[in-house]
C-alpha cells in the first residue's frame, strides 16, 4: 500500500505517538504531520525519501528530534516551526540543491551542524524565537542565496563570504560572563601561519570577570574613541596572549546577529583572519579568546617582529523597504574597549614590547587584583592610546 502513496496527511492526529518506517513509500512527495501534539518518535527512514518535496511537522510540541541524518535530494520545504522541544537538527549527508525554505521558528535547537552548508539552494532560513541558539555555523558563509530571519520585522541577514578556509577552532571564543563558547572560522589562513586560536584558560575566568566589572565602572572610557587596532612587538615565538574586546551594540531591544572579525598581521604580512557570528540580546558583550604561537614556528631569534591585531564588528542585516529597495539597516558596530593580556607562563617579558605611548589605567579601587599578580600583564586600549598595568 505504501508503495503507491505520493501524499500522506496526518495533520492533527492527537493519538499518533510514533511514525513507523516509510522505506516502502518510495513515491512519497508530501508528508504533513502538523500539530500531532503527542508525536515523540519518527523513524529515521524519513531522512531518505528521495522524492519527498514537502516535509511539514510544525506544532509537534513533544518532538525532540527529526532524524539523525538526512539526504532528501528533492526536498524544497522543511517546516518544523513551533516544535517547542526540538533539540537537534540532523546532519546533512550530501548536496541538497532543491531546498528553498526551512522554518525552525520557536524550537529548542541549541546548535546547527556545519553540514547545513550542503543546502546549496537554500534561500530562506527562519529562526524566529530560537532562544537557545547563539551562533550559526561557519558554513552559512558559503551559501550565497540564503537569507536568515531571526526576528519578526523586515530584517534579514546574509553572511556570504567569497572565501572561507576549512579550518575551524571549535569553542575557542568565550562570551564573557557566561558559559557560552563560539566557534571561530577563518576566511583566510596564511600557508606559513605560526599562530593559533585557543579557548581561554578556565582558571582565569573569575579573575578576568572581576577585571571586566572594573572596566565597566570607568565611565570615561565610553566618552573616548573606539579602538580598532592594537600593536605590540615580540621576539622569537609569538607570545601567548588573551585577546578581549567589549562590543557596543546599537540600542535595540530585539535579538540581532553580529559578526566579529579580527586579523593578525606580523611584519605587515597577514597571518590569518578569524571570524565568529553570534546572536545577542542586550547592548554590550565581551568576547575573549587566547592566541599563541605554534611550537614549530619561530619568527625571528634576534630581530623584533611587529604584530598588529585589527578588529571589525559588522551587522550583516538587510531590510526590505516598501518600495522594494534592500538597504543596510544598521551597518557597523563599535568597540567600547579592547585588552591584550600577556600571560607570564610560557612568555618572557623581555621579548614583548608595546609600541604606543603608555599610560596607567586607573582602576576604580586603586588596588591591584592580587590573584593576577603572578600570572598576567595587560594592556588596555583607551581611545588612540594604550594603558599598561604591570602587576608584578
- Report how many domains make up the chain: 2
Dihedral sign computed on CA atoms, order 143, 147, 149, 155? positive
Higher-confidence residue of 339 and 70: namely: 70
Residue 223 pLDDT grade (very low, low, confident, very high; cuts 50, 70, 90): very low
Say how far apart CA 178 and CA 166 lie, in whole Å. Answer: 28
3-state secondary structure of 1: coil
Percent of the chain past pLDDT 90, that is, above it, reads 36
Q: 2-38 pLDDT, tens per residue? A: 777 899 999 999 999 999 999 998 899 999 999 999 9
Same domain? For 64 and 181 the reply is: no
Say how far apart CA 60 and CA 39 lie, in whole Å. Answer: 6
Same domain? For 260 and 358 the reply is: yes
341: pLDDT strictly greater than 70: yes
* CA 125 to chain CA mean position, Å: 16
Instruction: Pick left, alpha or beta for residue 267 (phi over 0 → left; psi -120 to 50 → alpha; otherwise beta).
Output: left
How many other C-beta atoms can be found within 10 angstroms of the C-beta atom of residue 52?
Answer: 25
- Looking only at Cα atoms, what is the longest distance across the chain? 80
Same domain? For 14 and 67 the reply is: yes
Same domain? For 291 and 341 the reply is: yes
Residue 342 pLDDT grade (very low, low, confident, very high; cuts 50, 70, 90): confident
Range of the domain at 54: 1-162
Same domain? For 263 and 122 the reply is: no
Residue 368 pLDDT grade (very low, low, confident, very high; cuts 50, 70, 90): very low
Mean pLDDT over residues 296-308, rounded? 79
Q: What is the pLDDT of residue 252?
A: 57
Residue 380 pLDDT grade (very low, low, confident, very high; cuts 50, 70, 90): very low
Higher-confidence residue of 196 and 282: namely: 196
| Alpha-carbon separation of residue 130 from 135, 184, 202, 228 (angstroms) | 11, 21, 28, 31
Q: Last residue of a domain, which of 137, 162, 187?
A: 162
Q: 139-182 pLDDT, tens per residue? A: 888 888 899 998 766 567 777 766 677 788 899 999 877 788 99
Mean pLDDT over residues 173-194, rounded? 86
Same domain? For 153 and 224 the reply is: no
Same domain? For 184 and 140 the reply is: no
Q: 81-127 pLDDT, tens per residue? A: 999 999 999 999 999 999 999 999 999 999 999 999 999 999 999 99
Q: What is the pLDDT of residue 158?
A: 76
Residue 240 pLDDT grade (very low, low, confident, very high; cuts 50, 70, 90): confident
CATH number at residue 146: 3.80.10.10
Residue 55 pLDDT grade (very low, low, confident, very high; cuts 50, 70, 90): very high
Q: What is the pLDDT of residue 63?
A: 96
Say how far apart CA 151 and CA 130 lie, in whole Å. Answer: 10
Higher-confidence residue of 134 and 388: namely: 134
Dihedral sign computed on CA atoms, order 192, 198, 201, 206? positive
359: pLDDT strictly greater than 50: no
Q: Last residue of a domain, which of 162, 194, 212?
A: 162
Q: Last residue of a domain, which of 162, 187, 222?
A: 162
Mean pLDDT over residues 172-194, rounded? 87
Amino acid at each position: 500500500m505504501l508503495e503507491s502513496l505520493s501524499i500522506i496527511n496526518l495533520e492533527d492526529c492527537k493519538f499518533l505517538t510514533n511514525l513507523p518506517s516509510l522505506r516502502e513509500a518510495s513515491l512519497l512527495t508530501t508528508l504533513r504531520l502538523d500539530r500531532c501534539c503527542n508525536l515523540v518518535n519518527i523513524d529515521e527512514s524519513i531522512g531518505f525519501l528521495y522524492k519527498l518535496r514537502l516535509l511539514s511537522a510544525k506544532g509537534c510540541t513533544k518532538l525532540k528530534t527529526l532524524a539523525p541524518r538526512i539526504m532528501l535530494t528533492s526536498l524544497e520545504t522543511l517546516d518544523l516551526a513551533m516544535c517547542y522541544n526540538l533539540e537537534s537538527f540532523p546532519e546533512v549527508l550530501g548536496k541538497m540543491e532543491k531546498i528553498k525554505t526551512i522554518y525552525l521558528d520557536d524550537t529548542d535547537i541549541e546548535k546547527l551542524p556545519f553540514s547545513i552548508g550542503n543546502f546549496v539552494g537554500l534561500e530562506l532560513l527562519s529562526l524566529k524565537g530560537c532562544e537557545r541558539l547563539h551562533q550559526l555555523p561557519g558554513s552559512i558563509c558559503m551559501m550565497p542565496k540564503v537569507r536568515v530571519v531571526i526576528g519578526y520585522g523586515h530584517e534579514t541577514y546574509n553572511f556570504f563570504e567569497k572565501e572561507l578556509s576549512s579550518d575551524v577552532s571549535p569553542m575557542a571564543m568565550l562570551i564573557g560572563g557566561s558559559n557560552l563558547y563560539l566557534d571561530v572560522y577563518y576566511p583566510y589562513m596564511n600557508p606559513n601561519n605560526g599562530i593559533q586560536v585557543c579557548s581561554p584558560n578556565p582558571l582565569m575566568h573569575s579573575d578576568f570577570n572581576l577585571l571586566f566589572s572594573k572596566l565597566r565602572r570607568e565611565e570615561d572610557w565610553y566618552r573616548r574613541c573606539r579602538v580598532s587596532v592594537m600593536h605590540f612587538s615580540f621576539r622569537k615565538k609569538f607570545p601567548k596572549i588573551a585577546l578581549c574586546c567589549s562590543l557596543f551594540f546599537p540600542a535595540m531591544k530585539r535579538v540581532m546577529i553580529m559578526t566579529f572579525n579580527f586579523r593578525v598581521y606580523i611584519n605587515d604580512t597577514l597571518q590569518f583572519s578569524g571570524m565568529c557570528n553570534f546572536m545577542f540580546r542586550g547592548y554590550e558583550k565581551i568576547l575573549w579568546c587566547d592566541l599563541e604561537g605554534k611550537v614549530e614556528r619561530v619568527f625571528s631569534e634576534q630581530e623584533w617582529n611587529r604584530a598588529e591585531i585589527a578588529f571589525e564588528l559588522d551587522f550583516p542585516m538587510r531590510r526590505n523597504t516598501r518600495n522594494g529597495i534592500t538597504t543596510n539597516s544598521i551597518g557597523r558596530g563599535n568597540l567600547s574597549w579592547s585588552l591584550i593580556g600577556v600571560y607570564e607562563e610560557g612568555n618572557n617579558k623581555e621579548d614583548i614590547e608595546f609600541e604606543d605611548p603608555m599610560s596607567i589605567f586607573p582602576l576604580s579601587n586603586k588596588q591591584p587584583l592580587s590573584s593576577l599578580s603572578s600570572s598576567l600583564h595587560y594592556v588596555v586600549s583607551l581611545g588612540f592610546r594604550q594603558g599598561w598595568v604591570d602587576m608584578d
